[in-house]
Amino acid sequence: MSKRTFSIGGVHPHDNKISRECRIEPLPLAPTVYISVAQHIGAPSVPVVAVGDKVKVGQVIAEPGGFVGAFIHSSVSGTVKSIAPRADLAGRPATHIEIAVEGDEWADGIDTSDTLVTAIPEDAKAIVDKIRLGGVVGLGGATFPTHVKLSPPPGSKCERVIINGCECEPYLTSDFRTLLEKGEQVVVGAALLKKAMGDVPCTIAIEENKPEAIAHIQEVIAKLGYSGIEVMEMKMMYPQGGEKQLIDAVMHRQVGSGALPISVGAVVQNVATALAVYDAVQKNKPIVDNSVTVTGECFPRQANLLVRVGTPLRYIIDYLGGVPEEAAKVISGGPMMGRAVANLDAATVKGTGALLFLTEKQTRRAPESNCIRCGRCADACPMGLEPFLLNKLARAKDWDAMEQNAAQDCIECGCCLYSCPAHIPLLDNIRIGKGAVMGNIRARAAAAKAAAEAAKAAETEKK
């Protein structure tokens, strides 16, 4: 079988998986953790504990602020010290719950043993509900609440669950290590997701640069004897892990502009999310920790750490020997789509998958020069857009023309800027334009809705 990949664009950055041999090791507990109430897409959660309360590991400390929201659990046991705004990694203030760590006592009902529970519950609704209560969000980076994704709108039907094990970003290895070390749990998690979506087929997509993981998962599937779960070996290509790209690669279906994956019958979940689903459903264990790759050529000690949610970044870095002198940039996530950390005092959130250290030479942007119209950005764009054109339009603030040229489809993967030989900050400008276009689209939708409602009201009045 030829290896699959998505049909448009993509780039091949060197994969640099230098921490691939490092086993996932648990990080010792920090003295204090700061758990943000805005760790997911959607409304921030509402704290349900008060200052001075004693909490245990896995205890709910914040409840969803809306349908698109998630439970947040304490990742440590100890005393709530404060509930106050604190700067996140971009420096923006967000409400954090500060907990002073005292011991490591887990809440009742959580199974902390290592025994593998393979029996799949029959009730799909119960699975989704347990996922919701476990505070599971998409750990691939978007942190979209998983139970919302698993509750497709009426009229749409899921035909395939895709477990995203591509890890197409360079440097990152936490998903790879999870597949190797917790493959059984991931496969059970996949089976649970499959069950939740109505026993549809399930594909675990893994890129070709992880042959050990592919072999291991194939073995595990055979051993556990689940039917309808297969491993698909993918060609190496960034951004294969993008939701739309992965669906295109696996199912040869393209999700339309502005549409959800479910519109083509697909539900995509990350490997780490599958593990979290296993924990939440089989073990009653909510998301209290996640594996974080700490890496970079200039970083002396590569590691894959199991980190409690809310651990200050500085604590993690100091545990491994501090920020190296040559490091000029710290990135939360991968080098293509990760976010640069402006504030090392920020704490990890559920979606923190990596801390990457880059030197000035690796990351400093070269000065911009004239566009030579080579078309590399257009060739690289996985959405088939024309970044050079969008960049010009964005600088001219011509939002209407940007919309006509599909700026709103941009997935901000960074391929255009990565491949531009003239070092033009394409994505920076396109992102601004995309924001404006999305704003226009939403305003139009709201206006249309208001007009429709007004018409309806007028009609009822007539009657």
Binders of another protein among 396-435, rule CB under 8 A? 406, 409, 412-415, 417-419, 421-423, 425, 427-429, 431-432, 435
Query: In this chain, which stretch among 48-56, 105-113, 179-187, 367-375 interacts with another protein, using CB under 8 A?
Result: 367-375
Query: Any idea what DSSP says for residue 341?
Result: -
Smaller CB distance to another protein: residue 94 or 124? 94
Q: Let me know: does 298 contact 171? Beta carbons within 8 Å.
A: no
Answer for which of 148, 193, 250, 330 binds another protein (CB under 8 A) is: 330
Please report the DSSP string for 274-295 in residue order. HHHHHHHHHS---S-EEEEEEE
Of residues 26 and 375, the one with the C-beta less far from another protein: 375
Binding to another protein, residues 100-139 (CB under 8 A): none
Q: Is 255 in the site for another protein (CB under 8 A)?
A: yes
Q: How far apart are CA 174 and CA 291, in angstroms?
A: 6
Interface with another protein by CB under 8 A: which range of 31-39, 51-59, 129-137, 253-261? 253-261
Q: For residue 167, state whether it binds another protein (rule: CB under 8 A).
A: no
Strand order in the sheet with 24-26: 24-26, 303-308, 289-295, 354-359, 327-332, 339-340
User: Per CB under 8 A, does 370 bind another protein?
Assistant: yes
Return the residue of 183, 335, 351, 387 that touches another protein, per CB under 8 A. Answer: 335
345 belongs to the binding site for another protein (CB under 8 A): no
Question: Cα(39)–Cα(97) distance, rounded to whole angstroms?
Answer: 12
At its nearest, how many Å lie between another protein and the CB of residue 6?
Answer: 8
Among 325, 458, 459, 463, binds another protein (CB under 8 A): 325
Cβ-count burial 138-148 (b if 16+ within 10 Å, e if not): bbbbebbbbbb
Q: Which is nearer to another protein, 110 or 330 (CB)?
A: 330
Residue 249 tokens read as 């690669």
Task: Give the C-alpha separation, 169 to 17, whole Å.
Answer: 9
Kindly identify the residues of this chain, within the stretch 182-241, that bind another protein according to CB under 8 A.
Answer: none
- Cα–chain center distance at 170: 15
Among 103, 104, 384, 450, binds another protein (CB under 8 A): 384
# residues near another protein by CB under 8 A? 78
Q: Pattern 438-457, binding to another protein, x per CB under 8 A?
A: -x------------------
Q: Cβ of residue 296: shortest distance to another protein, in angstroms?
A: 11
Q: How far is the CB of 164 from another protein (least distance, A)?
A: 18
Binding-site member from 23, 365, 462, 463 for another protein (CB under 8 A): 365
CB 138 within 8 A of CB 270: yes
The interface with another protein within residues 25-84 (CB under 8 A) comprises none
Beta carbon of residue 433, minimum distance to another protein (angstroms, whole number): 10
Using alpha carbons, select from 191, 63, 71 the residue that is nearest to residue 124. Answer: 191
One-letter amino acid at 392 equals K
Query: Can you tell me which of 372, 445, 454, 457 binds another protein, judged by CB under 8 A?
Result: 372
Sequence-ordered alpha helix ranges (H) in 320-462: 360-363, 376-380, 387-395, 399-404, 415-419, 426-462
- Candidate list 26, 28, 93, 321; residue touching another protein; CB under 8 A: 93
The nearer residue to another protein, 58 or 261, going by C-beta atoms, is 261
Phi-psi region of 348 (alpha: psi -120 to 50; beta: other; left: phi over 0): beta
| Single residue of 48, 133, 340, 401 touching another protein by CB under 8 A | 340
Q: Rounded to an integer, what distance in angstroms lies between the CA atom of residue 333 and that of residue 395?
A: 28
Sheet of 60-63, strands arranged across? 46-47, 60-63, 72-73
Q: 258 to 277, contacts with another protein by CB under 8 A?
A: 259
| Strands in 56-180 per DSSP E | 60-63, 72-73, 78-87, 93-101, 160-165
Query: Whose Cβ is closer to another protein: residue 83's or residue 217's?
Result: 83
317 binds another protein (CB under 8 A): no
The reply to whether omega before 312 is within 30° of 0 (cis) is no
